[in-house]
Amino acid sequence: MDFKKIEWIFFLAFLGLNLFLLNLYREARIEQNITYRTNETIPLKQRLASENIKYEEEFSEENQMGYYLSGVPTDFYEARKEAQARLNIPDFLMSRTTIEEGMLTHLIDESIYIKEATQVETVITALLNDENFVLYGDSYRYLPQESNLTSEYPEIIAGQEYDGIAINDSSSRLIFSLEKSGDHFLVKKYSQTHISDLSPLREEMAIISEKEAINTLYVNSKIPSNSKIISRELMYKMTIKIRDQNIYVPTWFVTIETTDGKVRVEQVNGFTNRIVTNSIVQTVENK
């Protein structure tokens, strides 16, 4: 095997990726500057008020720091085998458990009840911290804005996090499926995806502020008149996949409720300030 050739292939692949990311960043900054120049004379707060767009708390102007993150999908067969040896439980996650296409699904035997919504975080946090219950549980955190107890099929969602910022992506998620039982909820199963070896791909960079993200959505007509901004949260989202490597970028997730009661989530790339709500993950195959 020509290891020197393999090294060059990986070097060129990651060099190309860095140039690609840098180009995206520069292009978006140019677009962002043009957008701001056309709206800089009227304060954002005044423009939202003029269209009766409601929200709670002022928008932060803080520029947090974040990374382009790289990671690989976890091999659950290996992870389960290692956990069985570490816990000395040979049948750990063997019964009522399936692993398909990078997702582990486990049907829960014991009765785990959630009596009311105020108990969700306490119950889920306890389950995540129980190494006899779920793999890598302590690498996840409860995501209240992504969870839903009012639908026909209620779910509680947790995501991995890196350096204090959660990952909100289907590639890195724990979904607890619930069943309504009288006035309570019964936790029936969980489905899990996980990313290993999360690490920065480049040095840390400044992230656009919450206020900048809201402004971008407003000037692009993504926040209708008479609507309400329910929440805004900074989380990581996968944008590029290079063979087995997933690339994540800080993204502002803004939840908006329109006058007809419908709720939608808009997304703004935290580095480029581009709206990426319906963007498709780009895939790069090295040859």
Architecture per CATH, domain 3-68+201-284, reads as: Beta Barrel (2.40)
**pLDDT value of position 14:** 58
**pLDDT value of position 160:** 97
What global pTM score does this model have?
0.83
**Rounded CA separation 56/147 (Å):** 20
What are the two backbone dihedrals, phi and then psi, of residue 149, each rounded to the nearest 5 degrees? -100, -5
HSE at residue 30, side-chain half, CA atoms within 13 A, is 5
> What stretch(es) of the chain map to CATH 3.30.310.160?
73-198
**pLDDT value of position 115:** 87
From residue 222, alpha-carbon distances to 119, 226, 264, 267, 285 in Å are 34, 12, 10, 10, 34
Residue ranges of the chain whose pLDDT lies below 50: 1, 3, 6, 9, 30-38
Contacts made by residues 133-141, CB under 8 angstroms, sequence distance 24+: 134/106, 134/174, 134/190, 134/192, 135/76, 135/79, 135/80, 135/83, 135/93, 135/104, 135/192, 135/194, 136/74, 136/79, 136/160, 136/194, 137/174, 139/194, 140/174, 141/166
CB atoms within 10 A of CB 103: 17
| Structure tokens that stand for 2 in this block | 């020509």
Nearest Cα residue to 236 out of 246, 221, 251: 251
> What stretch(es) of the chain map to CATH 2.40.128.690?
3-68+201-284
**pLDDT value of position 38:** 44
**pLDDT value of position 284:** 78
**pLDDT value of position 103:** 98
**pLDDT value of position 42:** 82
**pLDDT value of position 23:** 58
**pLDDT value of position 173:** 97
| CATH of 73-198 given 3.40.50.1220, 3.65.10.10, 3.30.499.10, 3.30.310.160 | 3.30.310.160
**pLDDT value of position 26:** 56
Tell me the three state secondary structure of residue 30: helix
